Amino acid sequence: MIIRGRAWKFGDDVDTDAIIPARYLNTSDPAELAGHCLEDADPDFPKEVKPGEIIVAGKNFGCGSSREHAPLAIKAAGVGAVVATSFARIFYRNAFNIGLPIFESPEAAERIRKDDQIKIDPDHGRIYNLTLNEEYQATAIPSFMQELLAAGGLINYVRQKVKNGV
């Protein structure tokens, strides 16, 4: 499925406290979390982000806490994908486990500007900047993680395994 939307731009080392501050972690309701997503980094973001829009950030996106509330908040806010120079490892796992599309591409992270129109072909890791008429390649996703994505996340993958008695 093609992902298409306007870009929101963030810097390096966007941490999980910025994505969803701990003051809101007394709930795990995705809709409630979405209402505060990235509000300390950009107060306009949770108010104005529209379904399918794309977060573009620098290195080490999602560093800090293991809180799955961070990718959950982004997903529930309707974000279509996150593109970054690199991802912190727990955030990276969590995004695959819950089915939030993420793409590692230093070139895309550098070139894409706020409000550029972006199209992503997840199957081939191709990122198109329709505003600048440019194309970028994302780092290949390991085959096991492609299996996870195909299964619809880790829980569905494990359910299948349990059901088959593996």
Contact call for residues 10 and 55 (beta carbons, < 8 A): yes
Kindly state the tokens that stand for 1.
């499925």
Could you tell me which stretch among 2-10, 48-56, 76-84, 157-165 binds other proteins (CB under 8 A)? Answer: 157-165
Distances (CA, A) of 115 to 86, 130, 152: 21, 11, 30
Question: Which is nearer to other proteins, 123 or 144 (by Cβ)?
Answer: 144
In the complex with other proteins, which residue's Cβ is closer, 113 or 161? Answer: 161
Q: According to CB under 8 A, which one of 60, 84, 101, 129 is a site residue for other proteins?
A: 60
Give me the least distance between CB of 66 and other proteins, in Å please.
4
Consecutive H or E run containing 4: strand 3-9
By three-state DSSP, how is residue 146 classified? helix
* Binding of residue 88 to other proteins (CB under 8 A): yes
Secondary structure (3-state) at 120: strand
- Site for other proteins (CB under 8 A): which residue of 3, 57, 72, 82? 72
Which range touches other proteins (CB under 8 A), out of 46-54, 63-71, 101-109, 126-134?
63-71
Tell me: does residue 65 bind other proteins (CB under 8 A): yes
Q: How many residues lie near other proteins (CB under 8 A)?
A: 42
Angle (nearest 5°) at CA 94 between 113 and 74: 45
Q: Closest CB to other proteins among 64 and 125?
A: 64
User: Considering the rule CB under 8 A, would residue 59 count as an interface residue with other proteins?
Assistant: yes
Distance CA 123, CA 106 (A): 19
**Contact between 97 and other proteins per CB under 8 A:** yes
Phi, psi torsion values for 60, nearest 5 degrees: 60, 40
